[in-house]
Amino acid sequence: MKETENTFLTLINQHKAIIHKISKMYMNDAEEQRDLFQEIVFQLWKAYPSFKGNSKFTTWMYRVCLNTAIICFKKESRKVDKTPYDGNIDIIDVNENEGKEEKLAYLYTAVQELNAIEKALIFLFLENQSHREIAENLGISEVNARVKLNRTKEKLQFIIKKNGYEF
Amino acid sequence: MNFDNLKNEWNAENPAESNISSDMLKINQAHTPIDKIRAKMKHEFFYQLFFLVFMAIIPHIFGFSALINRVFLMTYSTTCGFTAYYFFKFYIFYKNSYNLSMDTRKNILWFYYEMKLNIELYKALTYIVAFISVGFLNAFVFIEKASIFSKILNKLSPVYILLNCFVTILIIGAITELWAWFYYGKYLKQVKKVIDELDSE
């Protein structure tokens, strides 16, 4: 048991960035991010016996992490500004000189306006998953995955613009 | 917006988080909607147990006659039987583990139907207990207060009596549905929303 636990902890620590990124995408509040992080780790540990090594560890991990994040709802629905873009917004061009972290911070802010499935689509896309892999993870057809992803990317661009940024 | 650049930056991001320790694997309670429903059902089990113990001393409190005592015993044993049956089902639901490594659609549908099924079982138990109680109250009135009750019944038209029965059923139904919705419905609604998001074309 101890050996299994150690193997699991080694694997999970190698890929903890996945859990961290998903927590940041699905929760806006720092405390809720911590709670989700902990919940994901717990669910991964609970599901670990189901990992038979037939697929890559990260593939299995994506599923458990995303399914946990999708099913664990925010404690209360915080109101996110969803005012439609009216074209009269000063756009700040976040160019190459600006910090990469800042760019990602804008991204994390923008994804808060996406729904749970759209967040999963964007996450898997950013993790270099193909349309087929995205479809397999979400249990939808490849065509549907492609259409949904394109729409979500457009929506995300729109939100980022609406928030006054461009990169 | 250049998604390829964003991808590179995303993949280069390495959050400076401390290592995950074995302590994090030892939390007592998961917080998925199904775990929340299970925790609430566990509480309800104890309330129901308390209710059954309280029910057992009702004849002593009200000093029932021998005849009513027999009717009460039938009511009590039927209530205990149904409660035991349904709580056994809830126990299976409580112990049934889930696997989050399925694809999202399978996973979310499993959650939805498992929750829906158990909420329906919960409502069925509430209906059964409510109707058994109404049945006992009727028997009590017919046996103990027969003379007064028959006088009242003679004065009432059959339509009025039927209407009363209908309203009683309606009130029991409304309370059960509203209570189940208030107590468990919000979780079901949240999960249904995700299914709709997944199904939207």
For the purposes of burial, counting CB atoms within 10 Å of the CB of A67, is it exposed (0-12), middle (13-18) or buried (19 or more)? buried
**CB neighbours of residue B114 within 10 Å:** 16
How far from chain centre, in Å, is Cα A137?
13
For residue B107, give the nearest of A91, A67, A113 by alpha carbon.
A67
Parse chain A into domains and list their residue ranges: 1-78, 85-167
Q: Which residues on A lie below 8 Å from B198 (Cβ)? A: 117, 138-140
- Name the CATH code of domain A85-167 (choices 2.30.42.10, 1.10.10.10, 1.25.40.10, 1.10.1740.10): 1.10.10.10
pLDDT in tens, chain A (167 residues): 688 899 999 999 999 999 999 999 999 988 999 999 999 999 999 899 989 888 899 999 999 999 999 998 876 544 444 444 343 444 455 555 456 677 888 899 999 999 999 999 999 999 999 999 999 999 999 999 999 999 999 999 999 988 887 76
If interface means Cβ-Cβ distance under 8 Å, which residues of chain B face chain A? 1-3, 5-7, 9-15, 17, 19-22, 24-25, 27, 30-33, 97, 99-108, 111, 190-191, 194, 197-198, 201
- The shares of helix, strand and coil residues in chain A, as percent rounded to the nearest 5, are 65, 0, 30
CATH architecture observed for domain A1-78: Orthogonal Bundle (1.10)
The Cα B69–Cα B18 span in angstroms is 66
* Alpha carbon separation from B65 to B68, B78, B132, B145 (Å, rounded): 5, 20, 19, 12
Q: Which residues on A lie below 8 Å from B12 (Cβ)? A: 100
Residue A166's φ and ψ, nearest 5 degrees, are -150, 125
* Alpha carbon separation from B55 to B13, B33, B145 (Å, rounded): 62, 32, 21
Whether the ipTM is more than 0.85: the answer is no
Q: Quick check: B197 and A118 CB within 8 A?
A: yes
Q: How many residues does chain A have?
A: 167
Establish, for the pair of chains A and B, how many residue pairs have beta carbons separated by less than 8 Å. Answer: 139
Nearest CA in chain B to A4: B22
pLDDT in tens, B136-191: 998 988 888 888 888 888 888 889 889 998 999 999 999 999 988 888 888 889 89
* Alpha carbon separation from B123 to A167, B55, B133 (Å, rounded): 53, 20, 15
- Of A13, A137, A157, nearest to B20 by CB-CB distance is A13
Nearest CA in chain B to A45: B25
